[in-house]
Amino acid sequence: MRKTLLLFLIICSKLVSAQLIDDFSDGDFTSSPKWSGTVNYFRVSNGYLQSNGPQASSTLYLSTSNTLAAAAVWEFYLKLSFDPSTTNYPRIYLVSNKEDLSSTSDMQAYYLQLGSPSNAENFFLVKQNGTTSTTLLNLPDKPRSNANAVTVRVRVERDLNGHWDIYTDFTGGRNFTFDGSVIDNTFISTSYFGVYCRYSTGNRFNQFYFTDFKIESYVAAPPQLLEVKSLDDQTFEVTFDKAVNASALQSSNYGLSGLGSPQKAEAGINPAKIKLSYADAVPSGNYTLTVSHIADLRNNVMPVPQVKSFLHIKKYIAKKGDVIINEIMANPKGVKGLPETEYIELWNKSDEYIIVSGWKYSKDAATKPVVLTADTLAPKQYLILCANANAPLLKPFGKAMGLASWPALTNTKANLKIYDMHDNLIDEVSYTDTWYQDAKKKSGGFSLELINPYGNCTGGANWIASIAEYGGTPGSKNSVYNDEKDTQGPQIILTTIINPRVIQIDFDKKLAAHTAINISNYVMNNGVGTPVSIELVEPLYKTVMLTFEKDLTKGIEYTLTCSNLTNCSGAEMQQGRNASKFFYAKDILPNSILISEVLFNPKVRGAEFVEIYNNTEHILDLKDLKIGNADRKNDKIISNVSLFIQPKTYWVLSANIEHLKETYSVKYPDQMVKMPNMPAYNNDKGMVALYVDDKIIDSFSYHEKMHHALLKNYKGVSLERVSFNRHTNESTNWQSAAVIAGYATPTSENSQQENGILKNEVVLVSKTFSPDQDGFEDTLQINYRFKQNGNLATINIYTDKGLLVRNLIRNNSMPTQGSLEWDGLDNNGKLCKVGVYVIKFETFTAEGEVERFTKTCVLAAKLN
């Protein structure tokens, strides 16, 4: 019972001291308390009092009873889904003698209004007497995390003497900071408190939100010591929670542990901050500052001393590389989650506190360096540099310093330097837009970030576009940060001959520049020696271009040996991985490479292909070859890197080699080149051509009528070259690939080719076979050769009594030579009986020539 009574008394006391408490958690604004005014244009939504007026220029208001005007404290939370202006703004009427807040007749009021032409505004306090409005106090601008919206919590204190103090937190929390004060005691009574919404832009009708209203009696409180920080070795800044009076300028009111009172105490621009100065440099260490007898502007004096501990670091002279340029936002256009403004980020890489007062930042030689303002970087701390006007936009992301004269960053390239106060170079970066390594990000909206601040690689080798969701990481760890030490040295992955004197070497890792450009680190055999010049290719630093004094000789193999090359972590290239052999192929001349087979009318969802043949006795490089058609605009490069074709081998070019492997028998799959796309080849007729520069190596004008006369469907059937000794465009030099060969022979000898024999032949390898699966003569092998191509064949098998048991093939086109097998099964899939069988092999050509062969064999079995 006692506990219940105590709780009741506590609640009652709070109700007595508070004139208004409303957070709209009851979902209503028509009672407890009752709000009046343009009630049809407001609603309660998710704990907010939300405007809901006409979608045209309007003035809305609500007011509720309140009699607390002197010795009062007001608190409220405001959210706007737009940037307030001089025509779209809210007012909070703290004091009003009128229920109708839109009235001006005999109005006596104080209100706060938010809205100005800038994005970084704050409230101003206004006294309204009838039609006359007088601005009493303009609060200093404060940054917002979103320039197109407002989220703020406000606390206003007024004592009996008319002394007003205003505090705000533009994050919506309760970390209030003192913004300003003024004395005015014109109106000391009130009847109403309320909100007022004015908008001239129609879509603002529902974008005003209010909640957490509280009005209570003011209780005097002395200033509180919030923070002490070092400005330099002799000067400290003391921050109170509110403005303080002249008592704060008495040096005797301060005492630093071990050192006593300062030589001088001075006020700054902010009346809540005091600067303490000592005659001598204060050593580094942990200190405690004791403050006493300090009063606020209302003469509320600290009743007892207050203390604050802090760490002081004595000035450290930075060395080159202690502070580095860590991030560059040169092209903020289209940035997603950050302010659309340029910035660079510095990072204190050292373990020391570094004072940057008097340091200079420059962009390019012709730009005058800009001096940095007084500040200290803690170990591993970031500092964002930007234009003065943009500093409030970037401060929510970390320590930001606005520069009075910001040299605009160019999108393509610039040289950035940081100097200390004595003009000693601390860091330098000469960026280019190739460093982004991403064409889309290069166009804007993403910063350049340093990858490894501890590595040996410089320039584009150690920078890349940010992968952060918002396009950059100002004030925090880079999204691409990687300080892992790579202990495996670089290795050559590709050697390319650019011209007779220049070769390109590609490595698997980024190279440290000072090792990569050392001429003595490269040696070529066969009397070539070291290069005369080296180019390390940006931005990846994984490629070097070596230029030699004399031409390399074609047709021989070379070995390049590298030494002392290291990666960005300093790991050196290992023996056994430091040499590259490469072949310098001879030139491709006309008829060196010939067109061997063409599939120009593939099956549905199939793939075209062209087969080429190395007609020489030496290795050739397909990198020098292009494939096209009659329209030279459609030429395609076969390979961007060296691709060697051995003598007398067949290679297939296609955009879909996987489909070819699934559809046809591919004997040498490693001799297939996957093209990004092929030249256009019509299904009825066209031309296939091979070029080196503008020189034709071979060309073939095809027509579907070149297929076998008895072939009814051309889809999926290739045309094969019969002879490499005859001209490519002889019409009789091409024939349909044989059915037996699967209608195409990619990567292997053509099924239709000249073999030089004088007559057709059919031969049984053995006249006896036993299909008992013992591994010996389990099938009957039938070999054949034809003196000309384009033959069709029918093969039937009979018993010695003339009974047909198997149709082996029927009217199939045949290669000029090949083999067939009979497994001893009949047409029903059953094993034939032991006995003598007759093979009748009949061939005929499109011209009507017929030839018949009869062979006998014995199907045998083991005796038990």
Q: Which of 290, 220, 227 is nearest to 259 (CA)?
A: 290
Tell me the β-bridge partners of 450: 463
Residues ≥6 apart with Cβ < 8 Å to 9: none
Q: Could you give the dihedral angle defined by the CA atoms of residues 811, 815, 821 and 827, in that order, rounded to the nearest 10 degrees?
A: -20
| Nearest CA among 862, 856, 839, 837 for reference residue 776 | 862
Which residue's structure tokens are 């062979």?
Answer: 855
Rounded Cα distance between 815 and 813, Å, is 7
- My answer on whether omega of the bond before 262 falls inside 30° of 0, hence cis, is no
Contacts of 593 (CB under 8 A, 6+ apart): 612, 613, 614, 615, 620, 625, 645, 690, 697, 698
Per-residue pLDDT at 863: 67
**Residue 481's closest CA among 321, 324, 338, 362?**
324
Task: Characterize 94-128 residue by residue with b for buried, 16 or more Cβ atoms within 10 angstroms of its Cβ, and e for exposed.
Answer: bbbebbbbeeeeebbbbbbbbbbeebbbbbbbbbb
Find where tokens 């070529």 sit. Answer: 524
Q: Which of 251, 255, 253 is nearest to 264 (CA)?
A: 251
Chain position carrying tokens 């990000």 = 441
Backbone angles phi, psi at 491, to 5 degrees: -140, 145
* Residue among 49, 46, 45 nearest 33 (CA): 49
DSSP annotation of 409: P
| Whether the Cβ atoms of residue 191 and residue 96 lie closer than 8 Å to each other | yes
In one-letter notation, the amino acid at residue 115 is: G
| Cβ atoms of residues 458 and 452 within 8 Å | no
Q: Which helix (H) or strand (E) holds 407?
A: none
Check if the beta carbon of residue 858 is closer than 8 Å to that of residue 836: yes
The amino acid occupying position 660 is L
3-state DSSP percent of the chain in helix, strand and coil, to 5: 10, 40, 50
Distance, CA of 744 to CA of 123 (rounded, Å): 83
Task: Tell me how long the chain is.
Answer: 864
List, edge to edge, every strand of the sheet that includes 609-614: 672-674, 650-654, 609-614, 593-599, 719-721, 734-736
CA-to-CA distance for 539 and 384, rounded, in angstroms? 25
DSSP string, 326-384: EEEE---TT-SSS-S--EEEEEE-SSS-EE-TT-EEEESTTSPPEEPPS-EEPTT-EEE
* CA–CA separation, 771 and 777 (whole Å): 7
Contact 394, 474 (CB under 8 A): yes
Residues of the chain whose pLDDT is less than 50?
Answer: 1-16
Q: Which residue has the tokens 């001959």?
A: 497
The pair of structure tokens assigned to 539 is: 């931005």
Separation of alpha carbons 648 and 754, rounded Å: 16
Taking the CB of residue 702, how many other CB atoms lie within 10 A of it? 21
Alpha-carbon separation of residue 558 from 187, 524, 553, 579, 760 (angstroms)? 97, 7, 9, 10, 50
Find all residues with CB under 8 Å of 404, minimum gap 6, and list them. Answer: 370, 388
What does the DSSP 8-state code read for residue 622? G
Between the alpha carbon of residue 480 and those of residues 332, 385, 783, the distances in Å are 18, 20, 66
pLDDT of residue 818: 84
| Residue 556: Cβ-neighbour burial (10 angstroms; 0-12, 13-18, 19+) | exposed
Do 194 and 102 contact (CB within 8 A), yes or no?
no
Whole-angstrom Cα distance, residue 50 to residue 43? 5
Tell me which amino acid residue 863 is. Answer: L
Phi and psi torsions of 249, nearest 5°: -95, 5
| Distance, CA of 198 to CA of 207 (rounded, Å) | 11
Structure tokens at 17: 């001291």
Among residues 279, 281, 177, 166, the alpha carbon closest in space to that of 227 is found at 177
> How many CB atoms within 10 Å of residue 376?
20
Burial class of 592 by CB neighbour count within 10 A (0 to 12, 13 to 18, 19+)? buried
How many other CB atoms sit within 10 Å of the CB of residue 858?
A: 15
H-helix or E-strand containing 314? none
Domains, the chain, ordered by start: 15-217 (2.60.120.200), 225-312 (2.60.40.1220), 323-465 (2.60.40.1260), 492-584 (2.60.40.1220), 593-736 (2.60.40.1260), 761-859 (2.60.40.4070)
Question: Please, which residues bridge with residue 301 across strands?
Answer: 295
Q: Which amino acid is at 524?
A: M
pTM: 0.47
Query: 759 has which bridge partners?
Result: none
Identify the bridge partners of residue 156 per DSSP, sorted by sequence position: 74, 166
Structure tokens at 34: 């009752």
